[in-house]
Structure 1
Amino acid sequence: MGAQVHTYLMSEDARGQANFYMESLGGEIQFLTTFGETPGIPDAMKDKVMHLALTVASTNTLMMSDSFERVSYNRNICLALNYDDESEARTAYAKLSEGGESKYPLALQPWGAYYGEVVDKFGITWMITKQ
């Protein structure tokens, strides 16, 4: 018996963040439900995302929800994308950098792989590698 770890992001704009990742990495929303489907939710929250699952960069699942409080991120957790193709890695790096911050340029490293790091416009740190 085992378990799987899934990435679940709390967001101030889950729909916008999901759309950015789909445009940057390719993918599609698999499931979306709002808080409006729950009885007793105030009108201001009805359109907020309770649960969203999307597939990005081929077969990777990200899950998201709108937060009821301000969201802040730090470098304690990063998302790592490993590519087989250098041009795909460069495209993902460039697109995720739009509106964000390039921390380390995608470049050949002494260990023989390409590596770069970017903080996207939502504050998520991505480590991009091409083996």
Structure 2
Amino acid sequence: MARTSTYLHFSGDAEAAFAFYKAAFGSEFDGPIERMGDLPAQPGQPELSAAERNQVASVKLPIPGGHLLIGNDAPAWMGTLVHGNAMDIGIELDTHAEAARIFTALAEGANVEFPFQEMGDGNYFGTLVDKFGAQWLVSSPGPA
């Protein structure tokens, strides 16, 4: 079955971020968390430190709509991560109540750019940058 996924890279806090997303969405990981130390070394790859071996190589979390959220910790040798404003993760929920619940959960420690609210046509919408730097658009269709 084909599906779309979003891949998020972190600077050492992927496990904390995905524990947060797991609680926010009320979902379970799709398989175990893979660690950098579990992967075979690639030709020319520097030897990983003990801390790097424990970093997340891959974690997968199904979220509503059949979407898969995937993440990892990017080791220093992969380069510097830069958070930008060129992409958002958009999620449309079936009900206002579910959308409000998820928005509120993601808003913990976040920068809420546009509060989740009714848009005048029965649709609800809100945007935020969560405490891990991921940008979210949360919506639900009207009428309630």
How far residue 58 of structure 1 moved from its aligned partner, in angstroms, is 6.7
Residue 135 of structure 2 is aligned to residue 125 of structure 1: yes
* Distance change (3 Å), C-alpha of 1:57 and 1:26: farther
Task: State the aligned residue count.
Answer: 129
What RMSD over aligned residues (CA atoms) do the two structures have, in Å? 1.9
Mark the runs of 5 or more structure 2 residues left unpaired by the alignment: 42-46
> Which of 92, 97, 118 is the equivalent residue of 2:107?
97
| Stretch of structure 1 that moved more, 4-13 or 39-48 | 39-48
> Contact between 2:110 and 2:131, CA under 8 Å: does it hold in 1?
yes
Is 1:11 equivalent to 2:21 in the alignment?
Answer: no
**Deviation for aligned residue 1:41:** 3.0
Amino acid at match of 2:72: S
**1:33 counterpart letter in structure 2:** E
Of Structure 1 and Structure 2, which has the larger fraction of its residues in strand? 1
Taking structure 1 as the reference length, what is the TM-score of the superposition? 0.87
| Percentage of pairs with the same residue | 25
SS of the residue corresponding to residue 30 of structure 1 reads coil
**How do 1:69-84 and structure 2 match up within 5 A?**
69=76, 70-84=80-94
Contact 1:72 1:123 in 2 (8 A): no
- TM-score, normalised via structure 2 length: 0.80
Q: Find 1:56's aligned residue among 47, 52, 63.
A: 63
User: Tell me, which stretches of 5 or more residues in structure 1 are unaligned?
Assistant: none
